[in-house]
Amino acid sequence: MNANTNGTRMNEWFVPKFGPVRFRVFVGLLFLPYTGMCISFTIIGSMLADNVVILWDRVGAIALIYALALGVSAHVADTLGSKKIKPWGSYFSKGQLLALMVATLAAAYAIGVYYIVLYVPHLAVIAVLEGFFLFAYNFEAFGSRFHNNFWFAVSWGALPALAGYIMQTNSVSPLAAVAACMMGLVSYAEIKMSRPYKQLKKSEGDPARAKRLEIGLKAISLGTIAVALAMVAFRIIFS
């Protein structure tokens, strides 16, 4: 069975070109390179903590929280909340998507609440803000006031970096604030390229420009992941 790519995102670079259609749709729905960016922001924030010893269980926990809450739940919410054509077709029912969104969000908040209650109460501020943006951005609530590039950069770039730092220290420092702003700018650059790229891939117009944008998106997403991994290696070697 072949997927009909007209009006969908099935022909974007991060969607597998192999396997059953539902598998390809599911992997595409996760936006793995961009989810990897978001997770990398949490890791970068964690690695900037001035702890002598990094608390690696918390690095893993905050990465998992964002993988579940934003990597899965927010992307499913974006599909459910789309006011235009469904970006991934109709290969999953609304009930299936809703169940997946609720399950992954509940798991993420269960992990978050555990750490908030026992170790990092200041993380609660991030949890509330990210929960708000998950619904306000993806379901285009409040007249789509929060469905724009600026708030995307805040919720997908700046806040994850702060979350990583807070998870380690239960505090915010000037360094963490600067890093959050920088990650927000990286996230802003990604979404500025992603929106026209998405439209070009849907319409199959101007393939040369689409290719240039694709190269930029690959560079910014994979580059961010590489930076996070390099910082992890540095802390392991020199701690």
- The CATH code of the domain that includes 78 is 1.10.600
Joined tokens for residue 184: 């927000």
Residues of the chain with pLDDT under 70: 1-8, 83-87, 89
- Per-residue pLDDT, 222: 97
Burial class for 124, CB neighbours closer than 10 Å (0-12, 13-18, 19+): middle
Classify residue 179: in a domain, yes or no: yes
- Per-residue pLDDT, 74: 95
Classify residue 10: in a domain, yes or no: no
Q: Which residues contact 173 (CB under 8 A, 6 or more apart)?
A: 50, 165
Classify residue 14: in a domain, yes or no: no
The structural domain count of the chain equals: 1
- Per-residue pLDDT, 1: 39
- Per-residue pLDDT, 84: 62
- Per-residue pLDDT, 201: 80
Classify residue 16: in a domain, yes or no: no
How many Cβ atoms sit within 10 Å of the Cβ of residue 117?
A: 10
Joined tokens for residue 117: 């209650």
Q: Which domain holds residue 106?
A: 21-238
Classify residue 74: in a domain, yes or no: yes
Collapsed DSSP state (helix, strand, coil) of residue 195? helix
Classify residue 45: in a domain, yes or no: yes
Gap between the Cα atoms of 29 and 14, Å rounded = 10
- The Cα-based distances of 87 to 22, 167, 191, 208 in angstroms read 14, 34, 16, 23
- Per-residue pLDDT, 88: 76
Of 45, 112, 125, give the one whose Cα is nearest residue 73. Answer: 112
Burial class for 151, CB neighbours closer than 10 Å (0-12, 13-18, 19+): middle
Gap between the Cα atoms of 79 and 87, Å rounded = 6
How many Cβ atoms sit within 10 Å of the Cβ of residue 125?
A: 15
Phi and psi at residue 108, to the nearest 5°: -60, -45
Classify residue 1: in a domain, yes or no: no
